[in-house]
Structure 1
Amino acid sequence: MTQQPFMGRGAIDLSALKRPAPQQAPGAPSAEGGGGMAGAAGSSYAVAVDDQNFQSVLQASTTAPVVLVFHSPSQAPDSSQMAEDVADLVGQYDGRFLAGLIDVDASPQIAQVIAQASQMPQLPVPLLMVFLDGRPAIQPIPGLVSREELSTLFNQLGQQLTAQGITGRHQPLAGGPAEDDADEEPGPDPRYAPAEDALAAGDIDLAVGEFQKLVDANPADAEAAAGLAMAKILQRTQGVDLNQARAAAAAAPDDVDAQIMVADLDLLGGHVEDAFARLVELVRRTSDKDRDRAREHLVSLFAAVGNEDPRVLKGRQALASALF
């Protein structure tokens, strides 16, 4: 059984927080202007979070990922700019993400609940967390993150969502610019629908074929290329036992097939740098056709992760060093 790239520790206990008003549906704006889900920072996919609407924001992660940004104008003024960057960037993904902006000065109780659930003595600020199905989807990211790094993160998460068949999207929130002209409201790109539907149905072979059509039609389509690369990894690793694969690779360190299989499983499990390092070392040890296979496969993993990812840039440098 393959590992999944999204991993969480468990649902967050919200019992210490206020419940939203019973008549207020998730996503509906509050009549009093607070506790609702109106767009924040000029984005249709961002919301200012407080004690009253936190539960409904977290509940929205059952549809698609929710990105929480904890910031503090008093403790870390630059963190508020990071929150604004996240709000702006998620708007470019047509509902794949919802940003929840939490001012810990105004809502310290939320920070306490998250710190306790994450087993942290104190919540660092700023802090970025991604939730899916009410659970942390990736390890929390503390400290300031540049706009460029945030963009890379969202691109990578978007690729993983596509590869895993997670196709849900948030609806634009009240008060955001998408409501100014409903006719121009962005929606899911229909080109990817057949491949995403195939992944959601567990038909990996069909998904590979659909992504291949997109790449053949437009080789410059980076999202389609990444989707194809990830779908092929899923195809190769179907039904593979991770422990057995690791044992086989350890017993035959120069067996290209065995090393490639573990690298694929590592990448799916979120151990991207380990996957790259394994194949870089394989390139370093092998020669001729074996070396070419290891190199070509590593390049395909670069495509799956995304060429703008800092880990890919480091991986390319390591590959160049191993080759020359």
Structure 2
Amino acid sequence: MTGAVDLSALKERAQPAQRPAGTAPSGADGPSAPAVVQVTEANFEAEVLQKSDQVPVVVAMVSGRSPGSLDLLEVLERIAVQDNGAWILGAVDVDANMRIAQAFGVQAIPTVVAVAAGQPLADFQGGQSDAQVRQWIDAVLAAVEGKLAGRPAQEGDAEAEAPEDPRFVAAEDALDSGDLDAAVAAYQKILDEEPANAQAKDALRQVQFLARAQTVGPDAVETADANPADVDAQLSAADAELLAQLPEAAFGRLIDAIKRTAGDDRTALRTRLLELFELFDPAEPFVVAARRKLATALY
């Protein structure tokens, strides 16, 4: 499933909902089972996307209405605790967090997806035995061996984890509250102080895109298709397509517009396309392909 969906687009914040009885892993919030967390739309980015840069996050999408999914969750919980932080189990109540299931394209419950470095790596549907789950987990761990940052130091480890940078905390708080302008200002302030701060650069790009894309009208694509010579319309439509997790469509639209234009219009289109490229891993196949098409369009 690598690269199949852009999970970073799941930025909607919401109040965590109560889990149905029996769906929360025992000890999920306590020190005895730090490898098991409850994932909601509110904490998806922090608990899945960010932590998957350290170790694989196995997202189990279950429902209190499905006894089979609860049995599978118990199997996963036992193995997660046994593996002592080598991977993280994220339990999702799909009844309260439908957007997460939609982001993964889930068609059946239970569905389990392993996420590494922010992207889906492997998945399976339906109940599995302990031995089958163990084999699947081992395959996931083997696939990412040496490719992730590893678990940060925890309280009680030889080296304590460094305290969070309060500047980033302020920016994340603004983002969580839906104040994108304040988040942009907070990340920009960090860059003013540390122009080479890669984390702030990446975060600022993402938030600036979200702030701009959320102002695009619902008919942006139709308007652009009807007015191919309107550069502003093409820029807005590309933002709408990228927000809808259609990067190939967004890139293709801007490249086609670049072929039709010259001068300042072409410069504006090319600049925006390069900005959109920076929202993704440069090694993503669709980014590599689009860069080649851009070079052909320009030369």
TM > 0.5 fold call = yes
| Deviation per residue, 1:248-294 (Å, 9 max, x gap) | 21221121111111111222222222211111111122111111110
Q: Which of 200, 204, 219 does residue 180 from structure 2 map onto? A: 204
Q: Which of 267, 283, 288 does residue 292 from structure 1 map onto? A: 267
Q: Does 1:90 align with 2:52?
A: yes
| Deviation per residue, 1:217-269 (Å, 9 max, x gap) | 334333322222222223323443222x1232122112111111111122222
Relative to structure 1, the CA distance from residue 290 to residue 60 in structure 2 (aligned partners, 3 Å threshold; closer, same or farther) is: closer
The alignment's C-alpha RMSD in Å is 4.5
Give the conservation status (yes or no) of the 8 Å contact 2:216–2:239. Answer: no
In the other structure, the counterpart of 1:235 is: 211
Structure 1 spans left out of the alignment, 5+ residues: 9-13, 31-36, 39-45, 48-56, 68-85, 103-107, 115-127, 155-175
Structure 2 spans left out of the alignment, 5+ residues: 1-7, 13-18, 61-66, 74-88, 121-151
Structure 2 SS opposite 1:202? coil
Give the conservation status (yes or no) of the 8 Å contact 2:237–2:250. Answer: yes
In the other structure, the counterpart of 2:171 is: 195
Relative to structure 1, the CA distance from residue 316 to residue 111 in structure 2 (aligned partners, 3 Å threshold; closer, same or farther) is: farther
Q: Distance in 2 between matches of 1:303 and 1:92?
A: 22
Q: Which of 156, 161, 166 does residue 185 from structure 1 map onto? A: 161
Q: Does 1:64 align with 2:50?
A: no
Paired letter, 1:92: Q
Q: Which of 45, 57, 78 does residue 99 from structure 1 map onto? A: 57
Structure 2 SS opposite 1:180? coil
Measure how far apart 1:314 and its partner are: 2.6
Give the conservation status (yes or no) of the 8 Å contact 1:212–1:228. Answer: yes
Q: Distance in 2 between matches of 1:179 and 1:188?
A: 14
Q: Distance in 2 between matches of 1:233 and 1:291?
A: 20
Paired letter, 1:318: K
Relative to structure 1, the CA distance from residue 210 to residue 101 in structure 2 (aligned partners, 3 Å threshold; closer, same or farther) is: closer
Q: Distance in 2 between matches of 1:287 and 1:111?
A: 59
Q: Does 1:5 align with 2:9?
A: yes
**Identical-residue share of aligned pairs (%):** 33
Measure how far apart 1:194 and its partner are: 2.7
| Deviation per residue, 1:98-137 (Å, 9 max, x gap) | 83488xxxxx9439989xxxxxxxxxxxxx9995964425
In the other structure, the counterpart of 2:83 is: none
Give the conservation status (yes or no) of the 8 Å contact 1:246–1:262. Answer: yes
Give the conservation status (yes or no) of the 8 Å contact 1:26–1:60. Answer: no
Structure 1 residues 115-154: aligned runs within 5 Å = 134-135=97-98, 136=100, 138-139=103-104, 150-151=116-117, 153=119
Structure 1 residues 236-315: aligned runs within 5 Å = 236-243=212-219, 245-315=220-290
Paired letter, 2:9: P
Q: Which of 27, 30, 33 does residue 28 from structure 1 map onto? A: 30
Structure 1 residues 42-53: aligned runs within 5 Å = 46-47=35-36
Relative to structure 1, the CA distance from residue 6 to residue 91 in structure 2 (aligned partners, 3 Å threshold; closer, same or farther) is: closer
Paired letter, 1:61: T
Q: Distance in 2 between matches of 1:252 and 1:259?
A: 8
Q: TM-score, normalised on structure 2? A: 0.58
Aligned residues, how many? 227
Paired letter, 2:191: V
